[in-house]
Structure 1
């Protein structure tokens, strides 16, 4: 596999009223095609800013990035946010089909993909409902189905399960992994949960407090498919957990000095 995402010495500085804040500093990173990578770091370390730059919602101050394109007919990236992913005036199926319709794909293709991913996330029976009639977990299922249905080159996921209760979180993590195992999308996923990162990822990137820099990585060799029970019972994963926890503690404490 080749590199899908290449980031070269990227820095982002925000300017406001005569002052400046460096959100990201000298980020260099390669992510392989089909790799599932999690970003873990203290709050305010620039994780979301990095995703927004890759989604072309922000521009870097210095440095650059490239995303290797495969099929020119596919969108480059789709971003899944924590809670803001659904369009309130569209039904569930209209939300899932939204990106496909914007690309003016044939109606047959739109219906087939929409129906397929509605079934994948267990929302077939809720296709005609509006977001206000859904729980938070169901709304996130809509966001995930829409992202995969649109068939992007990469998926950028910004703490998509953070607001959910543990039961819904586990269900959606499993559904995400099932769909990812079929599609082998390149995924860059932000999380504050060490357990979630260990369960989902091929590799975990550890970031410093502001200005955000990548200072370490953990390669997760636990075979797939994996369960949370396996993650918690594996001694190597337990060691990774402790090391990541210590890293977060040190970064949070250091930022307060």
Structure 2
């Protein structure tokens, strides 16, 4: 028996209206993501990737079409979102930030304490739980965001380039930590990245988007078995071929966008 569908998007179009003009950000998106699947969205800047995540997060409304996030009938939030700009609360400690979503849901104190402690330990934050965000590095702040998102136990996890601002070493460490927690929790993840290496390391499938208006125009299945390491991906001929495939797609879309702007 196959996995059930967790996210279903049907004929989704999003247009933004300004004065007398309209801009179509997303055009007729149709997409199904299975329960527990890790899917990366890759496309040129301005192709509507973040808009799609914001719609799934309930922060924007589609102009046309619909989406469904399947629930298990338990009292858990539909989604948690991790942003690039580290959206943690500056006046709360690390521990209070991680516990924030659970407290907002009025979960029992024992569950809040247990789940917060678990994800603090999983992300290596347990020794820093009493610190405030201003005392943390960029990588540590993103750890807090990830721990908070998983601790809140959402149906799906939406991640918008969460590691883009980090140096390579921190990025590799957090990618491995994210995969470790994901494999344990079985969460459904939709992840935006501009890094082809990152998409090949993390995802089951890579969805390639066109330049504006954003459409999903190709899908690449990442066949390399897990667990994966970045050095394995760079040495593997199949992964190298898929890297080139994604690279060429991005180049073509950027060039097409420039031609249309002329």
Q: Normalized against structure 1, the TM-score is what? A: 0.99
In structure 1, C-alpha distance between the alignment counterparts of 2:168 and 2:107, rounded to whole Å: 37
Question: 1:55: how far off?
Answer: 0.4
Match among 91, 94, 97 for residue 95 of structure 1: 97
* Cα deviation, residue 85, structure 1: 1.7
Partner of 1:34: 36
Q: Does 1:143 align with 2:149?
A: no
| 1:11-58 Cα distance to aligned partner (Å, 9 max, x none) | 000001111100000000000000000000000000000000000000
Cα distance in 2 between the residues matched to 1:177 and 1:71: 26
Give 1:71 shift.
3.6
TM-score by length of 2: 0.97
**Do structure 1's residue 47 and structure 2's residue 42 form an aligned pair?**
no
Aligned-pair CA distance for 1:74: 0.7
Partner of residue 207, structure 1: 209
Structure 2 runs not aligned, ≥5 long: none
Distance between the aligned counterparts of 2:218 and 2:87, measured in 1? 31
When structure 1 is superposed on structure 2, of 81-90 and 97-106 the one drifting more is 81-90
Tell me the CA shift for residue 84 of structure 1: 3.2
Distance, in Å, in 1 between the alignment partners of 2:64 and 2:106 is 36
Cα distance in 2 for partners of 1:124, 1:139 equals 13
In structure 2, C-alpha distance between the alignment counterparts of 1:103 and 1:65, rounded to whole Å: 24
How far apart are 1:233 and its partner, in Å? Answer: 1.0
**Could you tell me which residue of structure 1 aligns to residue 252 of structure 2?**
250
**Does 1:159 find its partner at 2:165?**
no
Q: How big is each residue's C-alpha offset from its partner over 1:94-128, in whole Å with a ceiling of 9 and x where there is no partner?
A: 00000000011111110100000000000111000
State how far apart, in whole Å, the 2-side matches of 1:71 and 1:126 are.
35
In the alignment, which of 236, 241, 244 is matched to residue 243 of structure 2?
241
Alignment partner, residue 7 of structure 2: 5
Alignment of structure 1 residues 14-33 onto 2, 5 Å: 14-33=16-35
Q: CA RMSD in A?
A: 0.6
CA shift for structure 1 position 254: 0.8
Structure 1 residue matching 2:243: 3-state secondary structure: helix
Give the Cα–Cα distance (whole angstroms) in 1 for the partners of residues 253 and 42 of structure 2. Answer: 11
The separation in 2 between residues aligned to 1:106 and 1:172, in whole angstroms, is 30
Number of matched pairs = 257
Match of 2:106 in 1: 104
Q: Is the 8 A contact 2:86 2:141 kept in 1?
A: no
